[in-house]
Every structure is written in structure tokens, then in C-alpha cells.
Amino acid sequence: MFDAHCHLTYPGLKEILDRVLPEAATVLTGIVTSAFPFDREKKEDFIDARIALELTQRYNGRVFVSLGLHPTQVVEMSDLEIQKYKEFIFENKDRIVAIGEIGLDRFWIKNEEEYRRSERVFLEMLEVAEKIGKPVVIHSRKAEEEAVEILSSYKLDEKVLMHSFTGNMTTARKALDMGFYFSVNLKVRDTKNMRKIAKGFPLEHILTETDSPFLGPDGGVNTPLGVQYVIEEIARLREINFEEIDKITTENALIFYGLR
């Protein structure tokens, strides 16, 4: 099993890591944690990202890190903080497997000026990914069409993962036609378009994720171990056994993140 996207250092999960992660790192082939650049008390230290990078050393070969800028964080950061964080990414480019999550968000960002600023930073982060040759993990909530249109202008060698995609199927198929991947989480239980992707898109383009600590199977705090429930749901939808789904989606993650 492979958890292609989670947040190990996010409140709710980080407090129980010492209990959860040893088991998860033993059971799962890999875990990619998406680190946020700062907490509100220690912005310039990038403490969350630094802790995530330390986890890759402690769980070498099992825990990996992606670094990006969630659009809702962009609107909270100054231009100087964003520039320093980009420099931090370049400094640690050999210790990460992807840039992400990055993208656009019209669900949380209602102010058009703030949205346009987040769009500008999205473009900057895509340029960072191009320069260091890393895949990108895309957040595109309620802005899927705009995100895919922007991505079509970049040379990322099809190494684009549409994380937790719930947009319309026309946009999803356009992304698939460009060779993009899709990561499925437990929204698949109650989101029609994610179910369509999980059931009908080529399995070779599907990864599994938890987005933990969010989307817990019982409504509580999720952990990387929750990826088993995602695999079970995909297996049920496709009428294929768990082991086959697990094997293919794990291999997809290893290929996407360059971990073969």
C-alpha cells in the first residue's frame, strides 16, 4: 500500500506520530507527506517543512516529502516569505520527491485580488518544478478548469498528480489525455465524479492517498493506515480484488515519484 499524499506534521496527526508512524512505515511501501512551509508562530523557520524532512531520515525509504504552497497559505504570506520559501525548496531539492501541493482554490479564496495573487504564485511554483525536474501535486478545489488550462502550458513530462480531484468529467478527461495522474481518497465514497474516475479511468493513472489527518474513515483523525479503505473502495467499484488494486496503485506511485 502507498499513501501518495498526506500531512504528517499537521495538527491532529503530528501529536500521535510516535504511535502511528512506526506501524504505518512498516505496513506501507511508502508515504508522501506534503509539508506546509510555516505555522503562524514560526513563519520564517519553516518548522513544519523541517520536521517533515527529518522524518525522511528517521524513516528512510518509507517516508518522503513534497514541498509546495497551498493556495490558502499564499494569501497569508508576504512576498518576502514566499521568496524565502522558494529558496528553501531549492536548497532541499535533493531531499524531496515533488513540488506540492500547489494550485488554485475558489472554495476558500473568495477575494478576486487574493485569488489572482495565488495564481501568480502557482505559476512561480510550476517554474520551480520545471527547474529542479520534480513532479507536481495539484490542489484545484472549485478551480479545476483553470488549473488544468495553466498546466497545459508547462513542460512537466506528464508528471502531474491531480490530488483529490472532484471537478467535472470534461476537465478530468482533458487532464487524463495530457497524461496526468489522479489520487483517490475517501471522498470516493460520496463524490460522484471521484467515483467515476476511480471506476472508469485507466488504473495505471490512479494513485491512492489519505490526505490525513483529514477524511478519516470514521469521521475522526485519519492516518496513512487509512489508505487500506481507499483501496477497498476502488476494488469494490472496479470488481477487482484488493491485492491487484494495491499492486498497481503502489507501482504507479513509485513511478510517479521516481522511487523505482
105 known member of a binding site = no
Is residue 211 marked as binding?
A: yes
DSSP label at 188? Answer: G
C-alpha 7/C-alpha 226 separation (Å) is 13
Q: What is the mean pLDDT of residues 40-47?
A: 73
Is the bond preceding residue 114 a cis peptide, omega within 30 degrees? no
* Residue 42 confidence (pLDDT): 63
**Is 205 known to sit in a ligand binding site?**
no
**Whether pLDDT at 40 is above 70:** no
Residue for grid cell 503530528: 14
The stretch 23-46 carries a mean pLDDT of: 86
pLDDT digits (tens, 9 = 90+) for 53-72: 999 999 999 999 999 999 99
**70 known member of a binding site:** no
Whether residue 163 is annotated as binding a ligand: the answer is yes
For residue 143, the SS3 value is coil
For residues 255 and 249, give the distance between their C-alpha atoms in angstroms, rounded to a whole number. Answer: 10
Domains of the chain are 2-256 (3.20.20.140)
- At 249, the amino acid letter reads T
Question: Where residue 8 falls among pLDDT bands split at 50, 70, 90?
Answer: very high
Least confident among 30-39, 205-214, 229-238: 30-39
pLDDT, tens digit (0-9, with 9 covering 90-100), for 100-159: 999 999 999 999 999 999 999 999 999 999 999 999 999 999 999 999 999 999 988 889
For residue 4, the model assigns a pLDDT of: 98
pLDDT exceeds 90 at position 44: no
Q: Is residue 50 pLDDT above 90, yes or no? A: yes
Region 211-218: what's the mean pLDDT? Answer: 96
Q: Does the pLDDT of residue 182 top 80, yes or no?
A: yes
Q: Which residues pair with 181 in a beta bridge?
A: 161
Q: Read off the pTM.
A: 0.97
How far is residue 210's CA from residue 123's CA, in Å, rounded to a whole number? Answer: 26
Query: What distance in Å separates the CA atoms of residue 186 and residue 157, rounded to the nearest whole number?
Result: 28
Residue 74's pLDDT band, with cuts at 50, 70 and 90, is very high
pLDDT of residue 158: 83
Please state, for a pLDDT cut of 70, what percent of the chain lies above it: 98
Q: Where are the beta strands (DSSP E) in 195-258?
A: 206-208
How does residue 26 score in pLDDT terms, banded at 50, 70 and 90? Answer: very high
177 annotated to bind ligand? no
Do 238 and 199 touch, CB atoms closer than 8 A?
yes
